[in-house]
Structure 1
Amino acid sequence: MSDLVHNGIAAKLQSLTPARVGLGRTGISLETRDVLEFQLAHARARDAVHARLDVAGLAAAIETTTCSTVLQLHSAAANRVQYLQRPDLGRQLNEASRKLLSAQSSGADLVLIVADGLSSFAIERHVPAVLNELLPRLATTSLAPICIVEQARVAIGDEIGQTLGAQLSIVFIGERPGLSSPDSLGAYITWQPRSGRTDAERVCISNIRTEGLSYTQAASQLERAITQARERRLTGVASHSIPASLPAGEEKL
């Protein structure tokens, strides 16, 4: 390993990735600096998983940034421990949230859902800025109230979208932290969301963060995914076998 460091190969690799490559050694051990940096990254990843989302603060930030109505919802997982142990409960709303959602008007083109997922850091740091870039691109799209859901997983967007009768749903969710990315945000787009949808029926845009996909790039990709979903009338794996547009007069499937 020391030869790699000395001949510059490690430096070239390190310039291409945040992964831990070409680390130096002291005897048979890693250098103290690298050990401490690994422990810090691991601690940040653990904190991202266990930290509770500041729902009220996030709702206020979104309302201020976007002038949108925000609903605060909760999954059937009562707390973080149960959420981590019971993924199924994170995919469904609790009864109080169902009643609140059922009282809303339905039939919007799109519902935007913010779920804490496995990194509340990702949600708090990136969602307001992404929405600020995205919403001006949706001027002709009717929007349901923005939903913030605590202790939630991606599939909770299916129940929300179905209840609201939305044509499309986008779930912004904190992705599973890595040792170089404790705050990566993902966005899952689903055509005609309803209970029972699978991940194969969604489009995923991931790695939205300062060191990854920029807010402008993410908004552009989301806009394109929404347009294609409407043209093809579906999302996910199956959409790759259908052209983005059909000849005039040809009926869509």
Structure 2
Amino acid sequence: MELRHNNHIQEDPWASLRAFTTARIALGRTGAAIPLKEVLAFRLAHAHARDAVYSHLDTNGLQEKLQAIFAGPVLQLHSSVADRYEYLQRPDKGRRLDTESSGRLSALKDEYKQQDIAIILADGLSATALNIHAIPLLELLLPMLKAAGRSVAPLCLAEQGRVAIGDEIGALLQAKCTLVLIGERPGLSSADSMGAYLTYSPRPGNTDETRNCISNIREEGLDYSHAAGKISYLVSEAFRLCLSGVDLKDNYGLFLEK
């Protein structure tokens, strides 16, 4: 008896919408199953997401590039986490500096402290995102901050860091505001998404409602120019109102229309 296989892929009626999103929609089907190419693409995306979680921050490469666009010191710091496995299991340790790093900040000369804004680059859950997107964003953002008259504390590279590590760094630098650039939790279509968290009056113990988040900074998401403009706007508003978080509304779109 001869068996015949029908490998024809039946297109989804929404297939045209795939041109507008990287989300997994309108995959089509072969019989009652998803086409093999889509199954393989899903597994590849899942592998990229796992790789991003375990990727390493290119501290030396980033420091070299940062020193080319920033006149002040660039400091390499580390959280109290021992390794990546502990980072994933103990979020609390990723929010605090280790003893050596906190000592380095405390010993800094006074001329580097009490600046308007401290910028921290942390690996978060995707060091890949920082390695790719941090420099192009800062190349646009730093001139905007300078033009607005904002002084910038030494730039900090924080390995194995979470968002709240910026509170301790900002407090030790006595900065009025912190901006934490961090790798976001990888999605199955966005393993390199970077977020930016703005906190006015940083201090250990701050909670998430005190921060403003700008998410999905990458070429396929929020582009560098728009992200830099939005951050610059929120920094200006934070200093005008002396606050950040839920009470600081993102009216950047209305600002652009003026």
Aligned residue in 1 for 2:28: 24
- Supply the AA of the counterpart residue of 2:136: A
- Supply the AA of the counterpart residue of 1:129: P
Compute the TM-score of the two structures, normalised by the length of structure 1.
0.90
Distance 1:82 1:32 in 2: 37
Which of 87, 92, 97 aligns to 2:91? It is 87
Deviation of the 1:53 alpha carbon: 1.2
Deviation of the 1:56 alpha carbon: 1.2
Aligned residue in 2 for 1:247: none
SS at match of 1:53: coil
Contact 1:66 1:131 in 2 (8 A): no
Which of 129, 133, 141 aligns to 2:140? It is 133
Deviation of the 1:223 alpha carbon: 0.6
Aligned residue in 2 for 1:10: 14
Matched, 1:69 2:73: yes
Contact 1:115 1:153 in 2 (8 A): yes
Contact 2:10 2:29 in 1 (8 A): no
Which of 183, 186, 211 aligns to 1:177? It is 186
Deviation of the 1:10 alpha carbon: 1.6
Q: 1:101-250 to 2 correspondence within 5 Å?
A: 101-104=105-108, 105=110, 106-139=113-146, 140-240=149-249
- Supply the AA of the counterpart residue of 2:181: F
* Deviation string, structure 1 residues 169-227 (Cα, Å, up to 9, x no partner): 00000000000000001000000000111111101001100101111111100110001
Contact 2:15 2:27 in 1 (8 A): no
Number of residues of Structure 1 aligned to a counterpart in Structure 2? 237
Deviation of the 1:32 alpha carbon: 1.2
- Supply the AA of the counterpart residue of 1:237: V
Distance 1:208 1:178 in 2: 13
Compute the TM-score of the two structures, normalised by the length of structure 2.
0.88
* Deviation string, structure 1 residues 134-177 (Cα, Å, up to 9, x no partner): 01111121111000000000000000001111000000000000
Distance 1:236 1:4 in 2: 45
- Supply the AA of the counterpart residue of 2:132: R
Deviation of the 1:4 alpha carbon: 6.1
Distance 1:25 1:138 in 2: 51
Distance 1:119 1:12 in 2: 31
Q: Which consecutive residues of structure 1, in runs of 5 or more, have no partner in the other structure?
A: 241-253
SS at match of 1:239: coil
Distance 2:61 2:83 in 1: 19
Q: Which consecutive residues of structure 2, in runs of 5 or more, have no partner in the other structure?
A: 1-8, 250-258
Aligned residue in 2 for 1:47: 51
Query: Percent of aligned positions with the same letter in both sequences?
Result: 49
Contact 1:71 1:146 in 2 (8 A): yes
Coordinate RMSD, CA, aligned: 1.5
